[in-house]
C-alpha cells in the first residue's frame, strides 16, 4: 500500500489513459509505417500542455509532479513509444535550459518548447561515441562574439523536426553546451530512416561545419557541464523510459490476454493451454514488478532522496528488459499474427529493443548500478 495512488493521481491516470486510447492507439501503427509523427498530434500535445508538463505553467507546462509524470509516461508508452519519446526529449531539453541557462535564455526558448511552438532535440551522441558520450570529439572555438562549432552528431531523436538543438561540444578542453537553432549557417541535418524501432522518432544526423552561433547561446561551460547538464538530462529521460517500458509491457499483456480469450486452438480458447498460461503469468508478474520499481523511483525522486538516481537506474534497467521480454512473449503467443502488420505487438517488440539502448544501454546501466551499490 506504500505506493497506492491518491484520488487525484487515479483521476489523472484515467485521463492519460483516455488520451492514449483516443489519440495515440488509433494512429500509432500508421506513424510507425510513415516513420514520422503527424503535425496534428504534436500540436495537440502542445495545446494540452503535455509536451513538458513538469514545467511551470508560465513556461508552457502544468507544474506536474514527478510521480504523476511517471503515470503519464506509462500511458504514453502504452499508446505509442514515439510520443513517449517526444515528450521525454522535450523535457530533457527544456529543463536543462530552465535550470542551467540564464533567465534571458530560459525566457527565449523554454516556453517555445513547452507550448510546442518549437520542438527541441538533445544532441549528445556522436557517430564514434555512443555510450562513451563523455569523450565526444565535437569542438567549439571562441571567435570574437561567436562560438564556431565543428563536428557531427548522430541518432538524434526528432532531429528532422526540431528547431532548437541542445548541442554538446568541447571548448578549451572542457565540455560545453550550446543552443543551435535550425537555419544557422553551417548547420545541416540528414534524416535517418529504416530503423528497427521507434521509427517515428524522426532521427537525424547533424553536421556542424564552421557553424557560428552567438556567444549568448552558450548555456554552460566547465569541467562539470557533462555531469550536471548532460547526465541530469539523461536521468530525466531515463525515468520516462522506465515508466514507458512498463506501459509498453502492459500493452503487450492486455493484447495477449484478449487474444488468449478470443483465439481458439485445438477446440479450446488459447488461454486454456498450460504453456500459454505460463507465458501470461510471467508477463503479469514482470509488469507488476517493473511498475512497483518505477513507483519507488518516483517516490524517491519526489522526496529528493539521495538514492533516487540509483533507483531510477534500477527501474529503467529492469523495466526495459521486462518490456522486451513481454513483447517477445506476446509475439510468440500471437503466432503468425504476431509478426503481421495488423497487430501492434510486432511494433511493440521493435520499440522495446530500443528501450534497452536509449538513455543508457542495459550493459552500461549494469556498470552504473554496480558503481552506486558496491
Catalytic site positions: 359
CA distance 8 to 127: 44
**CA max distance for the chain:** 79
For β-strands 204-214 and 164-171, DSSP reports them as unpaired
Reported as type and span, the H/E element at residue 2 is none
- Give residues with Cβ within 8 angstroms of 175, minimum separation 6: 134, 168, 169, 221, 222, 223, 225, 226, 230
Instruction: Assess contact for 324 and 356: CB atoms under 8 A.
Output: yes
C-alpha cell at 100: 542551467
Instruction: Assess contact for 74 and 242: CB atoms under 8 A.
Output: no
C-alpha cell at 305: 532522496
C-alpha cell at 296: 519507488
CA distance 371 to 374: 6
CA distance 324 to 344: 14
- Give residues with Cβ within 8 angstroms of 190, minimum separation 6: 204, 205, 206, 207
Counting other chains too, the contacts that 358-365 makes at CB distance below 8 Å and 24 or more residues apart are 358/85, 358/198, 358/237, 358/241, 359/234, 359/237, 359/238, 359/241, 359/316, 360/131, 360/234, 360/238, 360/313, 360/316, 361/131, 362/317, 362/320, 362/321, 364/131, 365/313, 365/316, 365/317
Cα-Cα end-to-end distance for the chain: 30
Amino acid at each position: 500500500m506504500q505506493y497506492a495512488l491518491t484520488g487525484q493521481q487515479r483521476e489523472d491516470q484515467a485521463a492519460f489513459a483516455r488520451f492514449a486510447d483516443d489519440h495515440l492507439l488509433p494512429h500509432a501503427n500508421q506513424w510507425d509505417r510513415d516513420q514520422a509523427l503527424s503535425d496534428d498530434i504534436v500540436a495537440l500535445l502542445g495545446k494540452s500542455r503535455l509536451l513538458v508538463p513538469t514545467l511551470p505553467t508560465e513556461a508552457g507546462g502544468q507544474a506536474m509532479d514527478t510521480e504523476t509524470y511517471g503515470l503519464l509516461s506509462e500511458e504514453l508508452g502504452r499508446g505509442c513509444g514515439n510520443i513517449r519519446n517526444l515528450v521525454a526529449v522535450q523535457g530533457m531539453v527544456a529543463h536543462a535550459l530552465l535550470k542551467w541557462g540564464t533567465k534571458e535564455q530560459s525566457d527565449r526558448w523554454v516556453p517555445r518548447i513547452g507550448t510546442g511552438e518549437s520542438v527541441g532535440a538533445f544532441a549528445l551522441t556522436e557517430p564514434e561515441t555512443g555510450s562513451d558520450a563523455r569523450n565526444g570529439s565535437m569542438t567549439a572555438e571562441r571567435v570574437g562574439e561567436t562560438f564556431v562549432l565543428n563536428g557531427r552528431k548522430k541518432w538524434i531523436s526528432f532531429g528532422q523536426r526540431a528547431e532548437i538543438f541542445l548541442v554538446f561540444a568541447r571548448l578549451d578542453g572542457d565540455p560545453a553546451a550550446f543552443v543551435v537553432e535550425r537555419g544557422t549557417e553551417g548547420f545541416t541535418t540528414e534524416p535517418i530512416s529504416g530503423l528497427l524501432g521507434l521509427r517515428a522518432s524522426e532521427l537525424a544526423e547533424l553536421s556542424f561545419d564552421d557553424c557560428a552561433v552567438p556567444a549568448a547561446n552558450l548555456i554552460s561551460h566547465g569541467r562539470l557541464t557533462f555531469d550536471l547538464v548532460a547526465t541530469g538530462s539523461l536521468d530525466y529521460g531515463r525515468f520516462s523510459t522506465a515508466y514507458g517500458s512498463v506501459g509498453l509491457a502492459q500493452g503487450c499483456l492486455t493484447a495477449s490476454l484478449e487474444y488468449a480469450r478470443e483465439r481458439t486452438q485445438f477446440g479450446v480458447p488459447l488461454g486454456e493451454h498450460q504453456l500459454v498460461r505460463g507465458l501470461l503469468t510471467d508477463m503479469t508478474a514482470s509488469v507488476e514488478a517493473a511498475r512497483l520499481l518505477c513507483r519507488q523511483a518516483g517516490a524517491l525522486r519526489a522526496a529528493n532522496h539521495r538514492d533516487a538516481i540509483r533507483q531510477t537506474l534500477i527501474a529503467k534497467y529492469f523495466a526495459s528488459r521486462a518490456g522486451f521480454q513481454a513483447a517477445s512473449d506476446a509475439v510468440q503467443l500471437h503466432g503468425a499474427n504476431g509478426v503481421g502488420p495488423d497487430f501492434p505487438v510486432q511494433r511493440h517488440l521493435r520499440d522495446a529493443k530500443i528501450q534497452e539502448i536509449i538513455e543508457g544501454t542495459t550493459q552500461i546501466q549494469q556498470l552504473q548500478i554496480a558503481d552506486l551499490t558496491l
